[in-house]
Structure 1
Amino acid sequence: MCSSSILPIDSGRYGSPEVKKIFTEESKLKYMLMVESAVAKAQASFKVIPLSAAKEISSKSTLEHVTYGMWKKIEQTTKHETASLVEALVSVVSDDAKPWVHYGLTSNDVLDTALSLQLKEYLAVIQVKIKNLILLLGKYAEKFSGFPSVGRTHGQHASIISFGQKFAVWANDFLDHLDRLQEIRPRVLACKTLGVVGSGSVMGQTALDVMEETASSLGLYPVRSATQIVSRENYAEFIWWCALVASTCDKISTELRNLSRTEISEVEEEFLKDQIGSSAVPSKRNPIKDEKVTSLARLVRSMPIVALENIPLWHERDLTNSANERFTISISAILLDEMVDTLCDVLSSLLIKEDFIKINIERTRGLIYSEFVLDALLRKGMSRSEAHKILREVSSKVYQKGTYFKEELLKSPEVARLITEKELNDMFAPEKYIGGSKEIIKRTLKRIKKEVGK
């Protein structure tokens, strides 16, 4: 039988070790035991269970006493992961403590709260990585703040933009994602210990006090209300956040791939000495890291659909969400981690081809300045419709004849009547048109310093 991995996450292709470790079965067991421990302590503080029992349950709720192997061996018989945990924990405590293990709880009290602990650890890691990505973007924004480049719409040259503004836009997008993350934390990092149907079960009203104490000790947020499970809107919101961030990563990788096209050639991914771009074409240097980001983003964007399907369940719950959540939540998190790491890698060694950026500004033989010529005609008193029509006709001659825009403008009597050759020459200077870009970048850098630091 083949012993190799099936999923590329398991083979080591995608995801960092620190993030993948959070979502292993061993880590899940650790977090489940942490929940059992915290609940027992909280119950004792409100005299729901004896203090001596709580102390023993807490001391035995460790991987040293309840091992992964013990847990899985019991599960082979019970076919129930939480019941297996409870049996394992009961087997290692004294007879006096046995009745109080898992007291007043249901399986998803432990599972959902343990998942929140996993997500809490994950969010701490991914937040740091996103901040590092923002700092990288800020450096490029600052470095190229005063560097004019082509701004493109519909794939066509449109106007002048500071090359650094591209990075400022992306930095602001990620800063917004961090804001969203702060907004969803109380809902995503939920603690629920209210029993079988969310009513408090055998603990009655005290269950709410126990839950609040448990949440506080675990650094989570007590649910306002729940059924047997935490409302799946919470996890759909987390997965949606992952998809949003993944889409911004894709936006960046798509732009960098476009800018690295042979006919544009403004940027290039680092290409190592012994790296191979194509088995057939030795000269190829493909933007494979950016392509990977785009590819993984497509997969992450599919996950919210499944998460939304998990929201409507039967009555106080059924099990139709359970199996797919073992994929959607961890895969969304791990693949996003891979994408952010990859973008940081790309940006840390990205080659910016300044000469080609300058060349591309003039590729349309001056047509990129048509917006500014239009503005000059308007300021001279010509109506917008007339000026627009004249410049469309002049532009058509440039396209048809392969001449230069300035040359054709000087031949136009309507234009020459209002604008001198010197004024035209002054207009055809890209540095004049990035003042707004510079201010945008300045404000972005100020925001980065305030919200990220450094």
Structure 2
Amino acid sequence: MFSIDAPIELQNTEYCNYRSPLSTRYASKEMRYNFSDQKKFSTWRKLWLYLAQAEKELGLDITDEQLEELELSIHEIDFASAAEHEKKVRHDVMAHVHTLAEKCPHAAPIIHLGATSCYVGDNTDLIVMRHGLELLLPRLAAVISCLAKFANDHKSIPILGFTHLQPAQLTTVGKRASLWLSDLLMDERALSRAKDDLRFRGVKGTTGTQASFMQLFDGNGEKVRCLDKRVAELAGFEKRYIVTGQTYSRKVDIEVIGALSSLGATIHKMCSDIRILASRKEIEEPFETSQIGSSAMPYKRNPMRSERCCALARHLITLHANAANTHAVQWLERTLDDSANRRLTIAEAFLTADATLITLLNVCQGLVVYPKVIGRHIAQELPFMATENIIMAMVQNGGDRQECHEKIRVLSHEAGAQVKQHGLDNDLIERVKNDPYFSPIISQLDKILDPSTFIGRAPEQVEEFIAEEVEAVIAKYKDTLVEVEKPVVLNI
């Protein structure tokens, strides 16, 4: 019985059904279509056409009229009829076989000839995953391209480095961004490898032995081998899995979803960094003129895009375990407990990765840096970091290292007490200036405390990294770089 909470006039509307936020809120229309029923079942029909075409080429009694009838019906799917058939036969593939046969009466006798359900199911999944990766890679490349420009533009701006989430030696804004870039390059490599490694399941029969096709071709194994190869070619695959059970190995899903989950880990780390930097008011994601950060606190500028990326990425990370557990229980030639699971896992992995990359690109296109805030934070910590440089300068001016070390140690602790116990600014440099012992180097203090002298080769490292590694990846996608429109700013 329908819930009494819903008014009668709403009970048959889409708003009274569960709708995935991936399809209504986050993912692109291209990726949503890739996992749509229309794409899935039209691909099934293409595969039935490819099979019939290849079987005709190899001598089976199939006519051009039958092939033409199948080709004209690829996209005209009667979903209502298929649903009615599935109610009766409780089998989705046979329901669509019957639906197509009604549309193609002349071709009906040769639809799905010699095949098992996994011929259309598994091969379609492989096609859809390949297309999904082809959508994701240009999006990832666009993020890499945008972030590379940001890193290069800010390669020389000093900023506090952190280890253990405690201030450490300085780095630069661009160098930190290059660390994010380095991880993204590994993700591009992994996704590219996953796409290139994908093969076609082909025509293998119920347990992968091709016995049904051997019967169709009167025991001619060479024709069966050629059939397998030809159908793969018609579907656009150069390679096929030579051995399978009833399905292609679900290890393939682990490799693909593993690469996507690894991308999720990269994005979560990067966006967590941005959230920390936003808390320090050093770097912020874009914030719209009319955007509201909080319903209760009007001053808030919450990093909601980065938070969304983290939320989605965390879900993406978890899907790897799902794929691994599914493969682990595929007993012998296959069990069917992978089916319902994979309907969720594969689609959600791609839709989530897509949604996360769209939002991440928007973040990277509008990152804002606040050098004065960064400079103030450096000024609070740099005196402590400069103590070794002060000691070296004193020694070069004839001072005793041990004596100098003791004096600077005492002054440092005094300054630290001012900061920690009294909430005052770090006054170590003033204490050094007021101590006659350090008079020989007072004129050098500004140079000693110049933040640019604490960043090592960070700017050069960024330049080398972009030139030697990043530009080659961007060049791969120069004709397909995706410029994504700004996503609608929504609360999480």
With the length of structure 2 as denominator, give the TM-score of the two structures: 0.82
Kindly report which structure 2 residues correspond to 1:276-425, keeping only aligned pairs within 5 A, or say none: 276-311=292-327, 312-364=329-381, 366-370=383-387, 395-402=412-419, 403-406=426-429, 420-421=441-442, 425=446
Partners of 2:33 and 2:339 lie apart in 1 by: 21
Which residue, out of 205, 223, 228, partners 2:246? 228
- 8 Å CA contact 1:250, 1:294 repeated in 2: yes
Partners of 1:46 and 1:91 lie apart in 2 by: 26
Partners of 1:176 and 1:392 lie apart in 2 by: 44
- 8 Å CA contact 2:22, 2:351 repeated in 1: no
In the other structure, the counterpart of 2:203 is 193
Which residue, out of 272, 276, 287, partners 1:271? 287
Which residue, out of 36, 39, 50, partners 1:27? 39
Is the counterpart of residue 450 in structure 1 residue 472 in structure 2? yes
Distance 1:317 1:420, change over 3 A: same
1:388 Cα deviation (Å)?
9.2
- 8 Å CA contact 2:23, 2:32 repeated in 1: no
Tell me the amino acid that sits aligned with residue 455 of structure 2: I
- For residues 350-396 of structure 1, give each alpha carbon's deviation from its aligned partner in whole angstroms, at most 9, with x where no partner exists: 2211211111111225123357568889999x9x9999999766643
Tell me the amino acid that sits aligned with residue 41 of structure 2: L
Which residue, out of 72, 77, 94, partners 2:88? 77
Partners of 1:78 and 1:371 lie apart in 2 by: 80
1:443 Cα deviation (Å)?
2.3
Number of corresponding residues: 448
Partners of 1:103 and 1:207 lie apart in 2 by: 13
Is the counterpart of residue 239 in structure 1 residue 251 in structure 2? no
- 8 Å CA contact 2:394, 2:438 repeated in 1: no
In the other structure, the counterpart of 1:258 is 276
- For residues 279-332 of structure 1, give each alpha carbon's deviation from its aligned partner in whole angstroms, at most 9, with x where no partner exists: 222222211111111111111111111111111212211111111111111111
| SS of alignment partner, residue 227 of structure 1 | coil
Tell me the amino acid that sits aligned with residue 244 of structure 1: S
Distance 1:407 1:227, change over 3 A: same
Is the counterpart of residue 215 in structure 1 residue 232 in structure 2? yes
Is the counterpart of residue 171 in structure 1 residue 181 in structure 2? yes
- 8 Å CA contact 2:286, 2:368 repeated in 1: yes
- 8 Å CA contact 1:41, 1:54 repeated in 2: no
In the other structure, the counterpart of 2:79 is 68
Partners of 2:412 and 2:224 lie apart in 1 by: 75
After alignment, is 4-13 or 107-116 more displaced?
A: 4-13
Consecutive unaligned residues of structure 2, counting only runs of 5 or more, are: 1-10, 215-220, 420-425, 479-492
| SS of alignment partner, residue 330 of structure 1 | helix
Partners of 2:72 and 2:470 lie apart in 1 by: 45
Identity of aligned residues (%): 24
Which residue, out of 43, 53, 61, partners 2:55? 43
Distance 1:62 1:396, change over 3 A: same
- 8 Å CA contact 1:32, 1:111 repeated in 2: yes
In the other structure, the counterpart of 2:112 is 102
In the other structure, the counterpart of 2:489 is none
- 8 Å CA contact 1:247, 1:297 repeated in 2: yes
| SS of alignment partner, residue 310 of structure 1 | helix
In the other structure, the counterpart of 1:433 is 454
After alignment, is 427-436 or 292-301 more displaced?
A: 427-436
Partners of 1:347 and 1:147 lie apart in 2 by: 18
Partners of 1:406 and 1:366 lie apart in 2 by: 6
- For residues 143-170 of structure 1, give each alpha carbon's deviation from its aligned partner in whole angstroms, at most 9, with x where no partner exists: 1011111111111110111111122222
Which residue, out of 100, 104, 108, partners 1:89? 100
Partners of 2:365 and 2:129 lie apart in 1 by: 28
1:44 Cα deviation (Å)?
2.5
- 8 Å CA contact 1:137, 1:167 repeated in 2: yes
- 8 Å CA contact 2:415, 2:427 repeated in 1: yes
| SS of alignment partner, residue 62 of structure 1 | coil
Partners of 2:295 and 2:447 lie apart in 1 by: 50
- For residues 385-412 of structure 1, give each alpha carbon's deviation from its aligned partner in whole angstroms, at most 9, with x where no partner exists: 9999997666434312445444566799
- 8 Å CA contact 1:34, 1:61 repeated in 2: no
1:197 Cα deviation (Å)?
0.5
Partners of 1:191 and 1:430 lie apart in 2 by: 59
Partners of 1:307 and 1:265 lie apart in 2 by: 40
